[in-house]
Structures are given as structure tokens and as C-alpha cells.
Structure 1
Amino acid sequence: MTTSLADHLRTLPDESLAALLQLRPDLVVPVPADVSALAVRAQSRVSVARALDGLDQFTLQILDAARLTRDPDDGTTSTEAVLAMATAGPRPPAPATIRGAVHKLRALFLLYGPEHALRVVDGVDEVAPYPAGMGRPATELDARTAALCADPAKLRRTLLAAPPSARAILDRLAAGPPVGSVPPGALQAPPLGAEDSVPPDPTNGGAPTGSPVRWLVDNRLLVAVSAGTVELPREVGLLLRRDSGPLGPLRASPPPVAAVAREAKAVDSAGAGQTMEVVRHTEALLELLAAEPAPVLRSGGIGVRDLRRLAKALALDEATTALLLEVAYAAGLAGELELSGATTTRYGADQQILPTGGYEVWRAVSLARRWEQLARAWLLMTRQVGLVGQRDDRDRPIGALSPEAERAGAPAARRAVLAVLADLEPAVAPTPDEVLGLLDWRAPRRSRGREAAHREALVEAARLGVTGLGALTSYGRLLLADVAEADERGGDDPLGLRADAEDASTAVRALDGLLPAPVDHFLVQADLTVVVPGPPDPALAGELEVVAEHESAGGASVHRVTTASVRRALDAGYSADDLHDLFRRRSRTPVPQGLTYLVDDVARKHGGLRVGSAGGYVRSDDEALLAEVLADRRLEALAFRRLAPTVLVTPYQVNRMLLALRDAGYAPVPEDAAGAAVLTRPRIRRAPGRAPVGRTVDPLASPKLALPRLLGVVEQIRRGEAAARAARRAPAVVRGTPARTGPAPVHGHADALAVLQQAVRDKALVWVGYVDAHGATASRLVRPVSIGAGYLRAEDERTEMLHTFALHRITAAVLEGT
């Protein structure tokens, strides 16, 4: 007697059902109504695909062995049959390893039943139609091909007679997949009398063969399943794999890594140095955006010209600049500022990208904390930065921060790459090809087709300092563990409060031990250069930003005191005494006499001219200085005229006059209506604050629940099962169809699904009994259209309307006329 998956699940204890839900958490969302609904969901295409995506290459091959060894009559196989096929190759794995893979498949309920009568759940054949990359049996494809395959000796002779060009096609299809497309007309025979015009085939000793595909079809080694598609029968594929085994090469363990472990200290030192560069470049990038915000295009993101401008100013390539910009945006350090209606940009946009208020907070924390915020945002952001600069479907360039670079699977790709590095020995630096090989073995269904994203993740990890010298750093390993732990506790911290905790994370503490301690002093040279022998603390960095010009960065940054920088400090409110005190207090070397003279000279001239609004006026107690301004040809455009010996006026506004006077080498100071000097810092614009990207929901994963909660879910499913059993015993009530009293007899849920699936294939009418939203039973005569994702879609024969029924609410299904 055939045992369905639902019947098998009903016999299991609550702990076994909870273990299934723990391994396949997608089955809980939403909670199934009863065991039948759980079985339907466990066999659905989406759930089976998720389960298969998490399996390694060896386990998938063992599942293929179970599919290939199924009995054609009852569809069952056994562990012994799987062992026989898996050990048929030249280098068979250990039987214990094969049994372990079978046990894993049974725990996931991709296989179920006793060991002597294992069954494969229905959704597997739908998700992966070609087990082990082999086609269907010849009996399902073509009768004449089946007759050829039934004679092994004749099949072997036909295969040996194939021309080399045709044999190459067979070998390619035997490796999988077993189907191929052929150009139109390739399967057609030449017209009568045209056989002599077939050119000779040099791969066949000069004998003409025509199309090798047509030769294979004519000799029954390939079957034309449609006008442009051919398929390799399973028997031919097995014969071609006689040397490698029916499942192909079996590898029970991951491929080895040939890379030699580097010195752990060197790896961490290289990574720590890169973290300092990342933080410095990010801060410089945000300062550039503060000085000249980047306009947002109407299609989203920033333009190519602005990205090139930023890259040129930072002396970085565009790919690295785009990465830093995307990470800073994801970390909440940059955002959009809405412009007023009268303000427009050169692109006609109404938004600009510039730093947010969180940028000021970020600058005030330690270097390790700043890096952690950037690295965590990179791990969690759903952006694939490698797409920036490429072309989209409409042949338009993809810009930084544009919606076209959004990819939901990007966080999973990065974490999969880092997980491969984390599972190796510390300081081992595999090549990119070795990393891709490990990913292909670990989860071949997820990794294939995403090689470009994985390579980009390796490059970005190196640029951000997560890896050093090609190996995962110690603090990078801790950061990955912290993020994984945050995902595990997920719902315990819905507001993300732990991310803002006062205590530093383990990754921050580890990185702090590798970075040089912040310094609060500098060394002033005779040529007025200021050398900071290490990363400056936030207070020192803020002072240097005002009083000196930044020249170079690195382990020791270099600044230079100039006339313009001293004037800028005086404009910001410093006095000459304040500057002298600053250099004496911060410098570990004697302050050069030239620096003292420079400060005094600029301070003596500073404020010698006073500027107000008239249009604008200039006044000074120094009549000779005003006479010099009035005679200066560089200022003729301001049209000065003398109102008094100590006052000049101009029709132009104060700001323009200030710029012109400063460009001419003067040091004016604006004053208010009362004659007091106005000393102001440059106005800083900030975008509205943005929270950094938080925990990202992996589209390939579902929330994991603790075992006690899962046992509660199982109890709820048991109650639903009892209610459904009671509803099936209740008499059916037909609404709006007096000619019929409902489906009789009432079938089990699994049998009803089988009837519905058959009705979909035959497009037949069927009576469906179901429980409506109010708990009442009803029946309806419908023509099923499709079954999937837990729902039946069917057309009402009487009203010709399309209805949707939840599968767990269906209690019976009877074909019309039975």
C-alpha cells in the first residue's frame, strides 16, 4: 500500500516534526493548518528548492542516486540500491559517508519512508528534472530508441560507429544537462538527389556525414523532443559514463586548498593598515560632498561626471570611490537633502547627496568603531557595487546609489565568501578560483551563475580591510561571527538597540589592539609643515582642519601652515594668542620662529579693513590702505568711490566684495550694523539623519525558532489536524447548486490533491469540497487551472469566474460523473 508524505508525518512524534521545522524553517511561515497542509508545503516547488539550495554537491549526488534507482512500478528505492550506484564509480566514497548523506536527506524529508522503501518527495523532480544530469528513459521518449537501448550489444556498436563530431556532441550532453538546442533545419534530411552534395567530414576520415546531430537522431542515439530540441536518453548517458560512474565524479569532502598559511600577524597588520585608509578616504569623500553636494539624477543615484569628480579628488579609481560612497550611504553617513522649489541643480534634480548628522557622531568615535560601522554596513547592504558603471537592460550606465544596483542576494553572497575563508585555517589565503571551487561544492545550486558577485566580494573585502594579504583577518572573523549572532537572535532585538550599545564589540576590541594609539600632538618643522606621528584624536583633527592644509596621509599625516590657513583660523574666531598657545601646547618640537612671525603678520593685517552693506562699504582707520584699495586695478570691477577719508562704498553686495578683496591679497573682516566684527565658520549643510542598514532578511532563509516554540507550533498543527478530521466527517453542504449534494464519498486530503492534479492535466471538471472562512463546508463544480504555492486556481463552470482555494481548506475532490 502506498504511504503518502502526510500519512508518514502523522505517525511521527512531536519532537521529529519539530526537528523537521527546525531544519526547514520556511515550512512555519505561515503556520500550516494541519498535517496535510504541512505535507503539501513540504513538497511544494518553492520549499523543496530552498531545501536543495542548502545541500552540498555530494548530498545532491546521493539524492540523484535515489532518484535513478527508483522502481518504475511503485516509485520506491532503498539505501542498499543507493549504495550500489554510488560505489559503482572508479573512486567510490566510504559507505558510512553515503549513509550519512542519506540520513541528512531523510532528516530534511526529501527522502521519507523506511530504508528498504524510500520515497522521493514529489517536488524534487519538478525542481531538478534531470537527475545527475541525465535524460529520461528511452521508453518515455521514443519506441524505436527504446528498442535500440533494449539491445546492449547493438547500442554499443552504434555508439562506436558514431563519427568523432557526433561523439563530441554525445560526450557534452552526457556531462549534463542532457538536452540541447539545434538550429532550424539541422534535423531535416537533405532533398532527394542531394546526398552527393554533402561535404566530406574530415573528422570522419573524409566520409560525408552531413549534420552530426541528424546522424545521431537517425541512428536513435538522440531523440528530437521538439522542432529545435534534442534529448540524450538515460541508457545512452549511462553507457557514456561507464568510466566515471553513473553519478559522475563523487567528492565526499570539499576540494583541498593548496595555499600555504601566511603569518597571522602579517595578515592582521596588512588589514589594519587598510582599515585606516578606508576610514580616511571615507572621511575625505564625505568632506567633498559637504563642500560640493552631488545632485541626484531623476532616475536615481548620482551621475558619471560626479563620480569621476570625486574619484579624481580622492586620487582613487572609480570602482573604489563607488564602493566607499555606497558603504557610507548604507552606514547612514550620507543621505539625500530635499532642495527648495526655487533651487535646481544642473540635472534639474530636486535632491542632493551630502553628509548626514550622523557623520559628525561618526567622526567623534574611535578609528576601530568607525571602521566597524562601515564594514557592518557593507556586509548587510543589499547593493552590488560591481554593477556600477555597467549597462542596464536599456543600455544606460548604472550609476552609484541608483536603484539598478539593488540586489537582494548581495548580503548572502558576501557572507558565503567570508564563511569559506572563516572555515579555513587562520591566515590561509586561497586563490579566487579555490574560493569559487569551495563555494561550488558547498552549495552548487546557489553559487552557480553568481561567480562574478563572489569575485567582487573578495575584491571589496580586501579594499575594506576585512581581509589582508588574501586571508581573513582575526577581527574580520570576529565581525562575521557578531553579524551571524545578531541574525540568530533576530527577533530578540527588533529595534536594533544592541547595535548602539556602549560596550565595544569583539571585532572593535581586536582591531583597537592592532591600530596605533591616537595621538594628541604633532611635530612642527622649520618649513612650517606639521607632522602627526599617528592617527590624530578627534580634537586634534578638528584643530588641524582649521589651522593647516592637509598635504599627505598615511601612518604619519603631514599638514602645512600657510597664510590662507592662518587667515581661515582667524576668520573662524581664533586670535593670534590662541594660535600661539595651540602650537605651543600641541607641538612636541620647538615652534619655529617663522611660524610665530607668520601668525603675527597675518593677524596684524587681519581686520584692517571692515566691510559692511551699502551695496557694500569698506572702512579703515588707515587712510593709506584705503587709498591703495581705491587705486588697485584688480578691484576696478567693484567701482569703489570714496565717501570719506576712511570709507569706500561699492554698489555690489558684501559677499562679492569680500571675495574680490581676498583674491587681491587683502584680509578684510565683515562687520554688523553696530560695527562689531562678524567672525563665522563656514556654514555646514547636512542631510537628514539616516539609520545605518540593519539586519537584512536573507531571501533564501527564514527565521529560525527555538525548539520550545517549534513544539508549540507542532501542537497547533495537531489541533488543526483534529479539526480538519472532524470537518471531513461532517456532511457536505452545496450552495447554489441544488442538482448536487456535494462530493461523495469524501476523500482524504492527499487523495483529493491527487484528483486535482489529474484534473489539471486533463482539464476535467471536478467537485471540490472545502471549508470556507466561516468554518462551514461547501462544494463547487470547477475546472482546475493550476496548483502551486499552497493554492488551487480553478474556473467555476457555471459563472465562468476564476476562484482561488487554499489547499489546506480543501476536504474532498471528486471528478464529475463519478
Structure 2
Amino acid sequence: MADERALATGLSGLTDDALARTFAARAVSPGSTWHDFFDAAGGLLEPTSIDRALTSLPRAALVGLAAGVAAPELPAALLLIDADGTPFAAVTARVEAARSAHPDAFEHRPVPPDPTPAREQDAASAAELAFTTTGALADVLLAAAHLPLARTGSGAVSAVDRRRLVDAGAVETPEELDDLVETARTAGLLAPTEREWQVTAAGEEWLQASTARRWRIVADALAAAAPDGVRARGGILPLDHWHDAYPLRAGWRELSERRARVAVRWGLIAPSGAEPAWTAALRTGRPDAVPVDPPLPAEIDRVYLQADLTAISPGPLAPPLELRLRTMAHRESRAQASTYRFSADSLGGALTEGETAASIREFLSALSLTGIPQPLEYLIQSTASRHGRVRVEWDAAASRTVVTAADRALRDAIAVDQALRPLGLVADGEVALTSRVGRDAVYWALADSRYPVMAVDSTGAAESLHRRTAAGAGAPSPDAAQLYAPLIARLREAEGADTDGAWLVRELEQAVRARAVIEVAVRMPDDTERTFTIEATGLGGGRLRGRDRAADVERTLPVSHILRVATAP
């Protein structure tokens, strides 16, 4: 009870932000029915709450608690110790129970030595993996920018999108995709919504960066995301020692193995297990350390355009150039030297995304070492001439979208297309269709069905639409302060000036619930003090009821006259 009162006093003295951080760290439900800080203290000292907190602690913190001291690794927000730095009695009891069940979790482990430096061959292999993985993540982000990845209830990418990305050659296995998506989330490049993974504004900026800059952003994010339990000597422990850092945390070993796998993919660890120089500089975290990047292939800014409608890049193409090239050509092979193929569909997609025949020619002329071959020039011209045979505009007066086709045959083909049935298209005249669906949605549905579609504005002029929108435009997820604001407000409202009186009532309530035998010091009418030993049986109407053990009679004592309560010996 003394610990509960001390904790309640400590909680009431915290700021609202600090309270929210504590509740979040202790996984308190925002819908908790706590009425005051005494309830909150009692809830945080319950065995299940303490056990939950212990599972989140690193080994060093557990060793400290078992020794009765607060190790530096013990998060202050958990509030497992009192103001003097001593674990609460309830915490000590749960630590002893945990140590009995898992004695190895409370054994001290010395700080391991630094890993073996990678030899030149190992470092080269790690750099090659870093280059390949950076390209793979770019492919995943490009796919998600074009069409957000569907997300299952567990947070994983849906089976349909897994298959799509594997078949497209963006990733080799579903496991690789999971690792890339988690890495992108850690780096803030992808953000989860309820049903999708969407590219963020930071993700779009990352796609425009050089390969070396892309790698550095991800590597820094992975290092920053390393939990406190794997940090030592001002840096980060070698990855092969992470599995032992959180001995009570369920699933930690699997998570640490995944992090090790991700580190190998990004060239932070060589396949042999040795550590490249760039990782040592990142891992040790010294302020004076000079950042070292892996020796990635040099980027180029020119390609060979060939008469067979392909573009050959003899080396890694600079990302901004490659991103634009891929809007108008399909990549057939991915390597340091890549091949891209132009087709009517690929050029039509570029026109749909806002390019024109002139802008495509201008870009390719500047990019090509060999000029624009005649077959490609003809394909650009013929594709552009067909583009816009279907026009989509919004009729504000009638609140509907109007789809106009170049001829009736094309209109009829659109009207019976099963993929477009959700649009609810209705014939209107010889060459027009109407829909109650918004113009942009109709436009992209037609574009995805490979119709030569063009959007027009209210004046009838062509308008470029861009599908890509960065995640984050909607309402942000509530932070801890917002999440716990109603609960904290209720606790503050119940906070009164008479803390001693409130605590006395709480002690009496607990005694009644337990039918405990207590010693009650009462102030008598003549201002003298008398102590009764009673078995508490009821509390209500401002009075405590119970059986007096000495006189063997029922007594009713005014709570306002009770000075102290103690457990009877």
C-alpha cells in the first residue's frame, strides 16, 4: 500500500506528456476505467502489468532489477522503481518469479568484442549486395507509387501483390519483399494505412536520390532503429550478439535473425559474417567518425537507343533519368547494365502520365548516345496520334463524368468491357458515355484497361493527371498524448487537495473488499485518540462498519474521525 501511494503521488506529479509516455510504455489501454491516480498506481503494480513491462526489458536492466538497483538500461518511463531508485516491492516479487522461471535471462553477459573486419573480397561481395538491394527497394517503391500495395490484417503485403512483384522481377522471393517493406517502413519510405502500404513524400524524394544517397538513408535509419538493449560503448553491438539482448521478449530471437538478414542484404554485414569498414564507422557511432560508403558502381547519364526498340544502359543509370525512362519503356533486365524496351503500351503509359510526343523526343535525344532510331521515332508518332481518342471530362452542371470516344465502335467496346462495370457507364448519344463516378477514377480505370485516354478540363483543354500521391495527406495517426488525453483528463479531474483523505478512503475500500482485520485510529469527541481492531465489513454513507475483535461487537465509525489505518498484527 505504501508503494501504491508513492507511485500515485509520482504519477500525479508528472506532466501530461510524461504520463502519456508512461502509459504507452506500459501498454495501458486508452479505454481504461481508472478514476484517479490511486487506481492508476494500483493498475501499474498489478502482476500482469509488471510482467508485461519485464518482457520489454533488455538483459542489463533485468540483471539490475534482480540485484535491487536501477541499471542505466532501465527505461524511466516504465516507473518500476521509486524516487530513491529502489524497485517497488511488487516489482521485486515479479522479478523473483521471472528469475525462477527463466534463470538464464538474469545472468550477466560481458560486452562482446568487435567483429572481424571484412577482407577486400568480402567487402566487394557486401557492396554488390547493397547495390542489388537498393535497386530492388526502388522497384518496390515504384510499384507502390503506381498502385499502393494491398495490406493484410497482419500488416504483410497481400498474396496478389507478392506474386505481382515476384513475377515482375522486382524481388526474387516473398521473404525478400517482406524484408524490403519492413526496411522501407523503418526508413519512413513506406507508410501503412488500414489496407495499404503507400509511398511517403520521403519515399518519393528517396527515389530521386543517387544510389549512394539511397543506401546512406536506409543504413542510417537501420542504425537509428537499433533498440537500447543492443547498444554498448556508445555504439551498437555486433549483430550476432543481438539474439541474447531481450531474453524475456517473445519473438525477439526471430526478430533479431530478421535484422541480421536485412543487414546482409544491405551490405552492412558480409555474407561471411565479417564487418565492412562502412559498417564499423556506422555501428560505433563516434561523433568524429567520417562516414564511409560502400564502393557502389559509378552512375551514367547516357544509353544506346537501338533500332529493335530497346535502350541499352552500359552501367547503372542515374536514378532520376532511369525513373523517367521507365515511364516510357519496360525494363527487361536489371543489372549494372540494363535493357529497356519501348512499345505502344509503354509509350501510351507515358502519355497518360503527362508526357507528350515532343517531351519524349526531347528527353530521349538528350539521353541517347546514338540519336533516336527511325523505328522508335515512328512508334512515338503513331502512339501519340492515337492517344486521346477517348476523352474524359467532368460535367459540373449534371454532376457526372462524360466519356467521349472517337467513334461508336470504340464507345461500344468501352460500354461492354467487364473490367469497367463498377463505373456504371451509361450510353449518351452516339459516342458518349456517362458515369456518376469522379473523373479521375474513371480516367485511371480506362488507362489501366489500356484505352488511349486523355483527361480534359472545364475548358476542353488537355490536362495531365498523375497517379502518384505521397502518403500522409490524410489525418495523422494520434500520438500518445492524443491517445491518452481523455484518460489523463479524468485522472486530473479526480485529483483533489485532500490527498490524505482520498488515500484513507482507498485503504478502507481495499480492507472491506478483503474483509481484512485492521487497526483503526479514531479521534474521539473529547479530542483523544483511540485504536480499534476490527474486521472491516462495509463502507458507505461516510461510515466504516466492522466487528470489533476485542469487544466482539459491531461498530460503525465515522470516516471523518478516522486518523490512520494499519494492518493488524
Residue number among 270, 280, 294 corresponding to 1:468 in the alignment: 270
State yes or no: 1:54 paired with 2:60. Answer: yes
- The one-letter code matched in structure 2 to 1:526 is A
- The one-letter code matched in structure 1 to 2:174 is E
State yes or no: 1:268 paired with 2:123. Answer: yes
Residue number among 193, 197, 202 corresponding to 1:358 in the alignment: 202
Q: CA deviation at 1:585?
A: 1.3
- Provide the C-alpha distance between the structure 2 equivalents of 1:411 and 1:655, rounded to a whole number of angstroms: 44
Secondary structure of the residue aligned to 1:536 is: coil
Q: Determine if contact 1:617/1:649 at 8 Å carries over to the other structure.
A: yes
Change (3 A) 1:330 1:634: same
Normalising by structure 2, we get a TM-score of 0.54
Ranges in structure 2 where 5+ consecutive residues have no aligned partner: 1-49, 68-88, 396-400, 418-424, 477-499, 502-515, 522-528, 535-547, 549-554, 558-565
Residue number among 241, 257, 274 corresponding to 1:455 in the alignment: 257
Q: CA deviation at 1:540?
A: 0.8
- Provide the C-alpha distance between the structure 1 equivalents of 2:265 and 2:353, rounded to a whole number of angstroms: 37
Change (3 A) 1:303 1:328: closer
Q: CA deviation at 1:290?
A: 3.1
Q: CA deviation at 1:537?
A: 2.6
Change (3 A) 1:472 1:547: same
Q: CA deviation at 1:520?
A: 1.9
Change (3 A) 1:414 1:593: farther
State yes or no: 1:480 paired with 2:283. Answer: yes
- Provide the C-alpha distance between the structure 1 equivalents of 2:54 and 2:156, rounded to a whole number of angstroms: 41
Residue number among 367, 374, 387 corresponding to 2:218 in the alignment: 374
Q: Determine if contact 1:421/1:471 at 8 Å carries over to the other structure.
A: no
Partner of 1:234: none
Q: Determine if contact 1:635/1:660 at 8 Å carries over to the other structure.
A: no
CA radius of gyration, larger in? 1
- The one-letter code matched in structure 1 to 2:176 is T
Partner of 1:535: 316
Q: Determine if contact 2:187/2:217 at 8 Å carries over to the other structure.
A: yes
Residue number among 301, 306, 311 corresponding to 2:155 in the alignment: 301
Change (3 A) 1:270 1:312: same
Q: CA deviation at 1:659?
A: 8.8
Residue number among 126, 140, 144 corresponding to 1:285 in the alignment: 140
Cα deviation code 1:704-744 (max 9, x no counterpart): xxxxxxxxxxxxxxxxxxxxxxxxxxxxxx99xxxxxxxxx
Partner of 1:329: 185
Secondary structure of the residue aligned to 1:682 is: coil
Cα deviation code 1:414-466 (max 9, x no counterpart): 658x95548xxxxxxxxxxxx46x976xx797899954444333222212322
Q: Determine if contact 1:49/1:127 at 8 Å carries over to the other structure.
A: no
- The one-letter code matched in structure 1 to 2:197 is I
Map 1:672-683 onto structure 2 (within 5 A): 672=457, 674-676=459-461, 678-683=462-467
- Provide the C-alpha distance between the structure 2 equivalents of 1:449 and 1:651, rounded to a whole number of angstroms: 55
Secondary structure of the residue aligned to 2:464 is: coil
Secondary structure of the residue aligned to 2:340 is: strand
Q: Determine if contact 1:358/1:689 at 8 Å carries over to the other structure.
A: no
Secondary structure of the residue aligned to 2:326 is: helix
> Quick check: 469-478 or 313-322, which moved more?
313-322
Q: Determine if contact 2:58/2:246 at 8 Å carries over to the other structure.
A: no
Q: CA deviation at 1:321?
A: 1.6
Change (3 A) 1:327 1:518: same
Q: CA deviation at 1:56?
A: 13
Q: Determine if contact 2:243/2:257 at 8 Å carries over to the other structure.
A: no
Map 1:168-179 onto structure 2 (within 5 A): none
Map 1:510-549 onto structure 2 (within 5 A): 510-511=292-293, 514-549=295-330
Partner of 2:166: 312
- Provide the C-alpha distance between the structure 2 equivalents of 1:665 and 1:304, rounded to a whole number of angstroms: 24
Partner of 1:411: 227
- Provide the C-alpha distance between the structure 2 equivalents of 1:277 and 1:266, rounded to a whole number of angstroms: 17
Q: CA deviation at 1:544?
A: 0.8
- Provide the C-alpha distance between the structure 1 equivalents of 2:246 and 2:453, rounded to a whole number of angstroms: 70
- Provide the C-alpha distance between the structure 2 equivalents of 1:461 and 1:602, rounded to a whole number of angstroms: 45
- Provide the C-alpha distance between the structure 2 equivalents of 1:460 and 1:307, rounded to a whole number of angstroms: 21
Map 1:326-725 onto structure 2 (within 5 A): 326-336=182-192, 352-381=196-225, 411-412=227-228, 419-421=236-238, 435=240, 451-469=253-271, 470-482=273-285, 506-507=290-291, 510-511=292-293, 514-607=295-388, 615-618=402-405, 630=409, 637=416, 648-652=430-434, 667=452, 669=454, 671-672=456-457, 674-676=459-461, 678-688=462-472
Secondary structure of the residue aligned to 1:54 is: helix
Change (3 A) 1:660 1:367: closer
Partner of 1:145: none
Change (3 A) 1:411 1:255: closer
- Provide the C-alpha distance between the structure 1 equivalents of 2:268 and 2:556, rounded to a whole number of angstroms: 63
Change (3 A) 1:281 1:765: same
Q: CA deviation at 1:282?
A: 2.2
Change (3 A) 1:602 1:780: farther
- The one-letter code matched in structure 2 to 1:335 is A
Partner of 1:112: none
- Provide the C-alpha distance between the structure 1 equivalents of 2:267 and 2:336, rounded to a whole number of angstroms: 15
Q: Determine if contact 2:56/2:248 at 8 Å carries over to the other structure.
A: no
- Provide the C-alpha distance between the structure 2 equivalents of 1:373 and 1:439, rounded to a whole number of angstroms: 25
RMSD over equivalenced CA pairs, Å = 6.3
Ranges in structure 1 where 5+ consecutive residues have no aligned partner: 1-44, 65-121, 134-175, 179-250, 338-349, 382-409, 423-434, 487-504, 620-625, 693-733, 736-762, 769-777, 784-796, 801-813
Q: Determine if contact 1:523/1:531 at 8 Å carries over to the other structure.
A: yes
Q: CA deviation at 1:688?
A: 0.7
- Provide the C-alpha distance between the structure 2 equivalents of 1:289 and 1:661, rounded to a whole number of angstroms: 19
Change (3 A) 1:591 1:325: same
